[in-house]
């Protein structure tokens, strides 16, 4: 018999009753006064399994910081509209944005369902693979082309093993040396990929994939990928951690590319203390996600080769 489900801290019905649609003025006042937004109560419910998501408060904090940026005086009318869409996201009228901690959770559940097929396979045939795709500064090179070329090259490299499958997602980091410290190893990789050392922020697309490679050793997969993507530390191929259950590992791997952008640790916990620099960086990241990670254009960032038998 399965153990009884833990009762959620807040029943969904209660959070739904407390939910209010906010106007721009009201949203700004909540953020300025440090008052929780009505939707924040859902983080303590079991809506879409949120209560079991150990990262829900981190994601909620990112949403709050992004809303603060989207409603600041410099933000445009489109940004205000997006802020309202995200803060008023509700059942039947979901915003679909990954900045929204509820829609992020729902999207993660769809992505993880793809990985469930790898739950029972031999662990020696399953690898976690990260490839840094490239660096783009002030719009060059253009990301769509860079990502398309990467996908073609990766698929060609792995196609020598027709049984191999993979599933993952491209994440675009915003790297800004003026608001966060870049680790030396990372700086070396970015330099090898052509980053011009200057104060201009970089966009760094990279992919996280679960690769299933029956009949082929992990080292062989790594060898071919490292020959295709040659910059220093551009490719990492690793075994799964054996210290936790397989499904828990797959869940974590499906969630990893959906985490908030790297600059989050630099953003103050209390969003009222965000500087103009934080707000500008956050607005940039949200605009970038609107361009590349909008619910209707997500196909560019998803990268799956799943064979149904």
| 222-229 LR contacts (CB < 8 Å, sep 24+) | 222/127, 224/157, 224/158, 224/160, 225/129, 225/131, 225/154, 225/157, 225/158, 227/157, 228/153, 228/154, 228/156, 228/157, 229/131, 229/132, 229/153
Q: Contacts with Zn ion in 128-167 (CB under 5 A)?
A: none
* C-alpha span between 152 and 35 (Å, rounded): 48
**Segment 101-130, which members bind Zn ion (CB under 5 A)?**
102-103
| Nearer residue to Zn ion within complex by CB, 47 or 95 | 95
59 or 176, CB closer to Zn ion? 59
Q: Are strands 302-305 and 165-175 parallel, antiparallel or unpaired?
A: antiparallel
C-beta closer to Zn ion: residue 186 or 259: 259
- Report, in Å, the least distance between residue 95 CB and Zn ion: 4
Closest CA to 197 of 213, 206, 184: 184
In the range 54-93, which residues lie near Zn ion by CB under 5 A? 89
| Residue 95 within binding range of Zn ion, rule CB under 5 A | yes
Binding span for Zn ion by CB under 5 A among 6-14, 95-103, 239-247, 278-286: 95-103
Contact 198, 190 (CB under 8 A): no
d(CA 99, CA 113): 21
CB of 176 to Zn ion, least distance (A): 26
The rounded distance, in Å, linking the Cα atoms of 69 and 199 is 21
Smallest separation (angstroms) from Zn ion to the CB of 106? 8
Min dist CB 246 to Zn ion, Å, is 30
Q: Which one of the spans 36-44, 100-108, 184-192, 195-203 is the region binding Zn ion (CB under 5 A)? A: 100-108
Q: How far apart are CB 89 and Zn ion at their closest, in Å? A: 3
Please enumerate in sequence order all residues whose Cβ is within 8 A of that of 44, keeping only pairs 6 or more positions apart, or say none.
8, 9, 10, 15, 50, 51
Nearer to Zn ion, 82 or 147 (CB): 82
C-beta of residue 115 within 8 angstroms of C-beta of residue 248: no
Total residues contacting Zn ion by CB under 5 A comes to 6
- Kindly state the smallest distance separating residue 111's Cβ from Zn ion, in Å: 16
Which one, of 269, 276, 215, lies nearest residue 61 by Cα? Answer: 269
Taking CB under 5 A as the criterion, the residue among 75, 83, 100, 258 binding Zn ion is: 100
Pick 89 or 281: Cβ nearer Zn ion: 89
Interface contacts to Zn ion, rule CB under 5 A: 89, 94-95, 100, 102-103
């Amino acid at each position: 018999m399965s153990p009884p489900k833990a009762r959620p801290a807040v029943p969904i019905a209660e959070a739904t009753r407390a939910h209010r649609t906010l106007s721009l003025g009201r949203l700004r006042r909540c953020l300025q006064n440090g008052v929780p937004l009505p939707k924040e109560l859902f983080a303590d419910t079991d809506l879409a399994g949120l209560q079991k998501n150990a990262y829900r408060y981190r994601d909620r904090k990112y949403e709050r910081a992004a809303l603060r940026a989207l409603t600041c005086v410099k933000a445009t009318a489109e940004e205000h509209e997006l802020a309202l869409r995200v803060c008023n996201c509700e059942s039947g009228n979901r915003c679909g944005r990954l900045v929204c901690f509820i829609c992020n959770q729902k999207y993660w559940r769809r992505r993880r369902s793809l990985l469930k097929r790898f739950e029972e396979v031999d662990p020696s045939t399953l690898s976690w693979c990260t490839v840094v795709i490239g660096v783009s500064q002030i719009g060059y090179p253009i990301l769509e082309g860079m990502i398309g070329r990467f996908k073609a090259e990766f698929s060609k490299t792995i196609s020598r093993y027709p049984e191999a499958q993979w599933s993952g997602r491209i994440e675009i980091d915003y790297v800004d040396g003026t608001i966060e410290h870049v680790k030396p190893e990372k700086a070396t990789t970015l330099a090898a990929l052509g980053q011009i050392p200057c104060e201009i922020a970089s966009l760094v697309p990279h992919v996280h994939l679960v690769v299933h490679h029956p009949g082929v050793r992990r080292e062989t997969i790594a060898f071919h990928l490292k020959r295709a993507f040659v910059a220093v530390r551009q490719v990492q191929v690793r075994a799964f951690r054996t210290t936790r259950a397989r499904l828990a590992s797959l869940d974590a791997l499906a969630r990893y590319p959906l985490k908030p952008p790297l600059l989050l640790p630099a953003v103050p916990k209390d969003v009222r203390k965000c500087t103009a620099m934080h707000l500008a960086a956050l607005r940039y990241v949200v605009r970038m996600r609107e361009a590349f990670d909008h619910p209707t254009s997500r196909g560019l960032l998803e990268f799956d080769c799943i064979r149904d038998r």
